[in-house]
Amino acid sequence: MKSLEPWPESVELKDILADLLACNQRHIYQKEDYMFVDVMYVVMTYTYQHFEFCPIMYITSPVPGCGKTTNLDWFKKYCKQPRLSGNISASSLFRTVDEEKPTMLIDELDTINDEMRREIGNLLNNGYQKEGGGVMRVENTDNGGREPKSFDVYGPKIVSCIGAGSFSDATASRSIHKRMGRRPKDRGRPFRISRIDSADVCRKLFRWAKDNKEMIEKRCCMDLPIPEKLTDREADMWEGLFILSGFAGQVWEERMYNAAIALTGSCKDDTISMQELILQHCQNYILFKKKERITSEDFANYINRQSDWKEYPSQNLTPHKLASLLRDFGVFPKVIHFPEKGGKKYRGYEASSFEDAFQSYLSPYDPSETVTA
């Protein structure tokens, strides 16, 4: 890839995207929105240095054989400076990213040893934002001493693994998540990735990125319409892809905006924190039971009965533990008079005290969801 020369003539981005999309359709079985994101993410690998944020591409499946590695192989053909993590040691990971500025391709994250996974986690979380995205490590000096050194790890990264639960909350919030599935048996077998000749398209991408450098930087300073459904973090994550899609015309702009809405929160359910899970159950209980006042004990007992809460080992929720976990959301218990409980007073919560937390941290309530009484 390093030896390729830019295409000799100016090129249109929509033409490059058309070629990438056609190739993606031939070689990978996946949803249409995923295809659109794939091809635009390839363009980002040539232009990410102009943007403040560079999202992680996260590819998962419930079982092996769903095309994750094939998808990574496709990215390897077209992305700028592709580099597989499998042949990099933990000690050289940050140095490699700092020096080579590659597109990191990380396959089978769930099978990697704990030390390497921790290092990759640091790489992913600290390489998402351009400013302040360095990683500090202690390095040996020429005189035999040791001193701290900062490594610049900002840039594109594509990760695959079985099950979305392999990602931490922090990493998931910085990721575009694609859930791959097995190809139906009645669908034709995709063409082999090894047969792709990507040289011309890569040269065109080099040329387009070079010719449009100033225009990209100019558009980064302009106001950009953002779908209301996206959170602030998601808006940051998709901003670069939105900007790039504007160079390819209205059709691609609409494709990116629709894909962003379709994929919004796509990692969230699999990586929800303990505190968020509790807040979610509090919302379910209040709306399902239509309660204005709830005792701490009733809340704790309800949450302890939920199947997803039982997945947490040794998590017998007590009223005291509940108060501790809700405190960071600005929700606090107090002594409340309960006429329905014989007029006695108990420590508990007023439903209205959760309003700000529900609006700030949870998705709109879906009344079709099953709630365990």
322: left (phi over 0), alpha (psi -120 to 50) or beta: alpha
Longest dimension (CA), the chain: 85
In this structure, the dihedral spanned by the alpha carbons of residues 235, 241, 244 and 245, taken in order and rounded to 10 degrees, is -100
CA 237 to chain centre: 8
C-beta separation of 75 from 105 below 8 A? yes
| CA atoms of 124 and 121, how far apart (whole Å) | 5
Partners of 129 in the β-ladder: 53
The residue extents of the domains of the chain are 13-269, 274-361
- According to DSSP, residue 265 is labeled T
Residue type, 369: E
Token pair of 210 as six digits? 């070079």
Partners of 334 in the β-ladder: 348
Q: Indicate the SS3 state at residue 89.
A: coil
What is the bridge-based pairing of β-strands 293-295 and 344-350?
antiparallel
What is the bridge-based pairing of β-strands 157-162 and 103-106?
parallel
Helix residue ranges, H only, 187-291: 199-211, 213-220, 232-245, 250-263, 274-289
| CA atoms of 323 and 19, how far apart (whole Å) | 56
Angle at 180 between CA 113 and CA 269, to 5 degrees: 75
pLDDT of residue 1: 45
| CA atoms of 241 and 221, how far apart (whole Å) | 15
Task: Pick 13-269's CATH classification: 3.90.550.10, 3.40.50.720, 3.40.50.300, 3.10.105.10.
Answer: 3.40.50.300
| CA atoms of 158 and 293, how far apart (whole Å) | 47
| CA atoms of 212 and 204, how far apart (whole Å) | 12
Per-residue pLDDT in tens (0 to 9) along the chain, 373 residues: 456 799 999 999 999 999 999 999 999 999 999 999 999 999 999 999 999 999 999 998 878 888 999 999 999 999 999 998 876 777 788 889 999 999 999 998 888 888 888 888 888 989 999 986 678 777 777 777 787 888 899 999 999 988 766 777 788 889 999 988 888 877 777 788 988 999 999 999 999 999 999 999 999 999 898 888 888 889 999 999 999 999 999 999 999 999 999 988 655 555 566 788 889 899 999 988 888 999 999 999 999 988 777 666 556 899 999 999 898 888 999 999 999 888 899 999 999 999 998 888 776 655 544 445 5
pLDDT of residue 370: 46
Express the helix, strand and coil content of the chain in percent, nearest 5 each.
50, 15, 35
CA 319 to chain centre: 33
The CB-side HSE value for 221 (13 A sphere, CA atoms) comes to: 4
| CA atoms of 244 and 238, how far apart (whole Å) | 10
